[in-house]
Structure formats: structure tokens, C-alpha cells
Amino acid sequence: MKKLKTAVIGVGKVTHLHAKAFKNLERTEFVAVYSRDISKAKNFADQYDLKPYSDIEEMIHDSKIDFVTICTPHPAHKNGVLQAINAGSHVLVEKPLASTLEDCDTMIEAAKKKNVLLGTIYQRRFYEPVLRVKRAIDAGKIGKPILGTVTMLGWRDEDYYKSDPWRGKWKEEGGGVLVNQAPHQLDLLQWYMGPIDELYGYWKNLNHPYIEVEDSAIAVIKFKNGGIGSIVVSNSQNPALFGQVHVHGQSGASIGVQTDSGAMFIAGMLGVAEPPYNDTWTVKGEESMLEKWKIEDADFFGKIDPTYYFHERQFEDFVNAIAVRKKPLIDGEEGRKTVELFTAIYRSNRDKKPVKFPLTPENGIDFDGRLIR
């Protein structure tokens, strides 16, 4: 297989992780970078020996780009994605796929029309403790998953929100903890439990008066398989505590993963504080495996740079999907599910009633309930 030529769109903090991941991939050639500000593109290009551009379609045609990654603020994802797709490139988008369902659907439809692949970056799916939970569910080790929970208790201070001009604003960021910090855990919950039937949720800004967006949200869920679930996510705990996803099965067995511990990872600002690990495992005959797995997983984490290693694994999956023309592990439709989930919480808080799935886009001025307190 010939090497695929790759490029990045946007030069934010996370873009450096993409660059490091691309530089390690044998089957890609990292050649270009785009920014609206050509001086920023040139500065980034100088660090990684790339060609800078301030026009996406020109970059893709001129440098013969096969696929790009999108690293712009969430509400700007759509414009970059559509330009790349129209120029014939495959596209992998940093989470979440978009801040609105309308943007998601527009991008998904455009990719189908142009016959290119669209994917969403949820690199935590490639953590071994995360995969261990998924394999156990798929193997029937806990019976039907009947109760799923997400608990993500983190902290973001004022300096974090001042670190980029778009942070903490509805129009520029698209939302708060639901849109920026919690999508990884929300993605895992729906991956483990399956499609959602109904959700009732609330959101609040509890202790961040200097931002517009929510810092905390909760929800109760009814899944289509008959199971139920809960979500508690927040940026209001100082110091940060953890991010956890647990699944309880009809057999009575429980399994789970702590994806994040202590100070939450912030691209370009903080590293990964501690390795993820399986914190709950009561599968019959495997109860004693927790300590062994924790040691093995921590040992592996110590041998890699986890800030970009799992991006690299997802990029590999995307390259393989391009090569054989199959869906990547996390395609556009998978990415839409998380956007649908947090959109349901915003709408439920606005309407003060449960929201039935599936959701369709709204064109109201209240931004799916984000602007209604």
C-alpha cells in the first residue's frame, strides 16, 4: 500500500499530539497544515517540516492529501470538514463530531455523497482496560447489560478558560462539560449499553461565574435493550477526582473502568496523570484478575507516551479503513451518538420533560436549550 499523505486543519494545542502521532505512522506521510492565519500555519509547519496553507481546498489539491484531521473549535468543525470532503479527502474529526446535530448530519451526508470516510476521534476506546470491558460484554460474561453509569468529576480553573479565547462561550465552544470534557465517557456508555430510548437531564453552572456554559450535568437514561443508566459529569470538583464508566449485567456481575484519575488530561497543558485501569470486576472466576491487570496496564503505560499513543492507534485504524474501504471503528454515525446524547440533556433541561430518541435537528434560536436557563 502506498503511503497516504496527511494534513491537519487547525493549529490548537491538540494539533501537536496529532503531529506526533502522524510522525510515528509508517503508512502515512505527514506533509501539510492549514490555519486561517497563515503566520500560525507557518510557525507550526516550521516545527514539523510541513507546508503551510491558509486555504483548505488548495492544500488538499496541491499536496495531494488523502486524509486530514480536524483540530478546530467544535462549532467550526463543519466548515473545515465540508471543504476537505468537497476536495476529495477523508476526514477524521477531534471529538465531538460537532456541537449540533444539524452539523453532524450535514457532514455525514456530504461524506456519503463524495464516497469518502468520516470518523470521530475517541482515542480512549483503544485503552486496554476499556477494550477489556467491551470484550467481556460482547462475550456475554455479564449477561445483558442492564445498568450503566458514568461518573466524571473533574476541575477546570479560570486560567484554563483564559487559555484560549473560545473556551467557556456558547457560540465559540458549543457547550461546557458535556461538549468538551465528558464526551469520552458518554461515548463509552453508549458503546457498552447500546441505543438509548429516553433521557431526562439537567445542567447547571455551579461554581464558574466567569463562563457562559455549564460546568455540571446529570441525566437518567432508559436504553432500548430495557436497561437503565445514569450520568453525573462535572468540572466543579477541586482537585479533580476521576472519570469512571461502569456496567452491571443481568447475571449480577459488574465491570468497569476508571478512564481518568486526578488532574484531568488537557492537551498541551497537562499530561496523563495516571494510567486507566479496571476498578470493578466481579465476573465469576475472574474476580482475582484486577490487581494483575492493573500492574500490567500500568507497566505498559509507563513504556509509551499516552498523550498521543492512542491517537496513533486510532489513526492506524482509520488508515486501515481507507485501505480496504470499510467503516473505521468510530465513524461519523458513531460520533453523532454522543452529540445526540448531550443534545438530549440540553433539550430535556429546557423542556422539563424526558426526551425520546432518536433526535432530529432543531433550528430554533435557543441552541437546543443551551440558552434557556
Q: Name the domain boundary from 302, 323, 347.
A: 302
Task: Quote the pLDDT of residue 272.
Answer: 60
**350 is a domain residue:** no
Same domain, 70 and 170: no
**270 is a domain residue:** yes
Task: Quote the pLDDT of residue 269.
Answer: 47
Residues 253-297 have pLDDT tens digits of: 999 999 999 765 555 444 566 899 999 999 999 999 999 999 999
Same domain, 88 and 182: no
Number of domains making up the chain: 2
**366 is a domain residue:** no
Same domain, 138 and 190: yes
CA distance 111 to 328: 13
Same domain, 189 and 223: yes
**354 is a domain residue:** no
Q: Provide the domain limits for residue 261.
A: 127-302
Residues 151-174 have pLDDT tens digits of: 999 999 999 999 999 999 999 999
Same domain, 230 and 139: yes
Same domain, 165 and 279: yes
In this prediction the pTM is: 0.95
The answer to whether 242 and 264 are in contact (CB under 8 A) is no
Kindly tell me if the per-residue pLDDT of 1 is higher than 80.
no
Same domain, 59 and 151: no
**360 is a domain residue:** no
Query: What's the Cα-to-Cα distance from 159 to each of 156, 165, 172, 177, 181, rounded to whole Å?
Result: 8, 11, 17, 16, 16
